[in-house]
Amino acid sequence: MTPEQKIIVRETWQQVVPIADRAAAMFYDRLFETDPTVRALFASTDMAAQRDKLVAMLGTAVSNLANLETLLPAVEALGRRHVSYGVADAHYESVGAALLWSLEQGLGDAWLADAAEAWGTAYAVLSGVMRSAAAAEKAAA
């Protein structure tokens, strides 16, 4: 990620924070709509608590983009944990699409091409780390 992309992600996230719960609800609604296979992974999940976890995780990631080396161990651990939840590699594509769609809906006119590119890059970097950690976890099992 470029320094400019990190700034764009941080600034647009600040615009999402006031509507974070609504954005998280839109995210899960969109995810379940576009990839029904994911719904079963949340069958016994308290979705209000899950929305809070999503927002907290995104906030932590955004806050630490400038210092990726300190963020990556937590992202790797998250990827390993997702193996036990039944997350498949293909789910990362659905999640990314739902996340970008939700941000676009939440940001409205502030969702410009540079914001879409910056968030897409941020998601690609972080989900790539998670996917690698998940693959290593599966290989070790």
- Domains of the chain with CATH codes: 3-140 (1.10.490.10)
Q: Please, are residues 84 and 31 in contact by the beta-carbon 8 Å criterion?
A: no
Spatial neighbors of 134 by CB under 8 A, at least 6 apart, are 79, 80, 82, 83, 87, 89
pLDDT tens-digit profile of 98-113? 999 999 999 999 999 9
Q: Please, are residues 94 and 101 in contact by the beta-carbon 8 Å criterion?
A: no
Cα–Cα distance measured from residue 27 to residue 136, given in angstroms and rounded to the nearest whole number:
28
Q: Please, are residues 35 and 94 in contact by the beta-carbon 8 Å criterion?
A: yes
Spatial neighbors of 108 by CB under 8 A, at least 6 apart, are none
pLDDT tens-digit profile of 21-61? 999 999 999 999 999 999 999 999 999 999 999 999 999 99
Cα–Cα distance measured from residue 68 to residue 80, given in angstroms and rounded to the nearest whole number:
18
Amino acid identity of residue 26, one-letter, is M
Mean pLDDT on 9-13: 97
Cα–Cα distance measured from residue 107 to residue 75, given in angstroms and rounded to the nearest whole number:
25
Tokens of 88: 């498949």
pLDDT confidence bin for 141, thresholds 50/70/90: confident
pLDDT tens-digit profile of 53-101? 999 999 999 999 999 899 999 999 999 999 999 999 999 999 999 999 9
